[in-house]
Amino acid sequence: MDNSARWPSEFQEAVAKDGWLGIMMPSQYGGSELGLAEATVMMQTIAESGGGYTASSCVHMNIFGLAPVVKYGNEEQRRRFLVPLIEGKERACFAVTEPNTGLDTLKLQSLATRQGDHYVLSGSKIWTSTAQVAEKILILVRTTPLDQVKKPSEGLTLFYTDLDRTQVSVTEIKKMGRAAVDTNSLYFDNWRVPASDRIGAEGQGFKMILHGMNAERILLSGEAVGIGYAALRHASNYARSRVVFGRPIGQNQGVAHPLAKAWCQLESTRLMIMQAAKMWDEGFETGEYANAVKYLAGENAFTACETAVCSMGGMGYAKDYHVERFLREVIIPRLAPVSREMCLNYISEKVLELPRSY
C-alpha cells in the first residue's frame, strides 16, 4: 500500500464489517460502548502488526473523531451520523488546522455566516487526512470574527457535514511516509452547510473539540508504541539470524543493549498510555497525561525505529525489511496532531505552574 499509495480499502472494510469501528460508540447506534483503553489496545495492535500508521490511520478518525457528536450532538444527529460511520458506509475527516494559524487554533480565520437554515463557509484548511476518500467532514470555523469576541475561545463553531467536492477544493500533500493515507489542503468559498449539521450551540465549538483532542493524543500514542514494537521485532529477528565473524550480531552487546533499552522505554510508555486512557474513561478531562504520553510515545517510538534500522545496518535501509518504512511513519507523532514542544509547554504551565512562554 505504501509503495502504490493506494487507500487500504480492503482492510478498512474488514474492520468495519466486524464491528470494530464502533468500539467506543454507544450500543444503541450499533457500537460496542467500550472505553478509550480498549480502543487504544486495538489501535496499538493494528500498528504493531506491521501495518503501522498506514493501517491505523485509515480507521483512526472513525474511532475517536465523533466523540463531540456523541457528547454534544442531539438525538437526531447521533442516529443520522453515528450509524453509517459505525457500519463503515461513511468515512470522516477532521479539519481544524489552517495555513496561517498552525497550532494557534484560537486564531482560526475560516468564517461561517448564518443565512436562514444554512451557514455559508469560506476559508481554507490544511493537514486534513483522508479527505480524498471521506464522505463526511468534522470542521471547526469561526461564526464570530476574532475581533468581536471577549475571549479567543469564543465564537468557534463545529459542524459535521457532507464533504461536498463541488464546493470544496481538495488537494493532496505529498509526504515522506504513509503514502496510502492521503493528507490534504482544503479551500472553500460560499460553501452552503445546513444549520442542522451544526454540533451543539453556536460559538461553543472549541470546548467540544477539546473533548476529542485528548482522546486522539492517547490513541495516537498507542499507535506509535505499536510501530516501535514492530520495529524491535524485525530487528531482533534479524539480529538472531544474521551471523558475522562467526556469531549472531545479537550476541554483541553493542547491538543487544540498544534494542533492550528501546524495549524498556516503549514498555514504560505503554503503561503510562494505559493509565491515561483509563483516566479519560473515568472522566478525567485535563490534558497533562494525554500530552505527556503523546510526547513520550513520539520520542521513544522514534528511538526504537531508529535503533532497529541501525541494528540491521544496510538491510535496515532496504525497503524489503520494512523498518525504514516504520522510521518514516513514526516521525508523525513527533509533529502531529500537536508538536512535542507544545506538549512540553502544557506540562510546564499546567503541572509545574511555570509562566506561559507563548
Is residue 257 pLDDT above 80, yes or no? yes
CATH says 9-86 is which class?
mainly alpha
Is residue 134 pLDDT above 80, yes or no? yes
First-to-final CA distance of the chain: 40
Is residue 292 pLDDT above 90, yes or no? yes
Q: Which residue's C-alpha cell is 496510502?
A: 180
Model confidence at 285, pLDDT cuts 50, 70, 90, reads: confident
Q: If you average pLDDT over every residue of the chain, what do you get? A: 96
Return the HEC string of 290-304.
Answer: HHHHHHHHHHHHHHH
Check residue 210 and give its pLDDT: 84
Mean pLDDT check: name the lowest of 100-104, 129-133, 319-323.
100-104
Q: Which three cell numbers, joined as nine digits, stand for 193?
A: 452547510
**Architecture category of domain 207-351 in CATH:** Up-down Bundle (1.20)
Partners of 136 in the beta sheet? 92, 162
The listed CATH number (4.10.520.10, 2.60.120.380, 2.40.110.10, 3.40.50.150) that belongs to domain 92-202: 2.40.110.10
Question: For residues 208 and 199, what is the distance between their CA atoms, to the nearest angstrom?
Answer: 9
Read off the pLDDT of residues 36-51 as tens digits, 9 standing for 90 and up: 999 999 999 999 999 9
Same topology between domain 9-86 and domain 207-351: no
- Residues in CB range of 197: below 8 A, 6 or more apart: 77, 159, 160, 161, 162
Spell out the domain ranges in the chain: 9-86, 92-202, 207-351
Is residue 211 pLDDT above 80, yes or no? no
pTM above 0.85, yes or no: yes
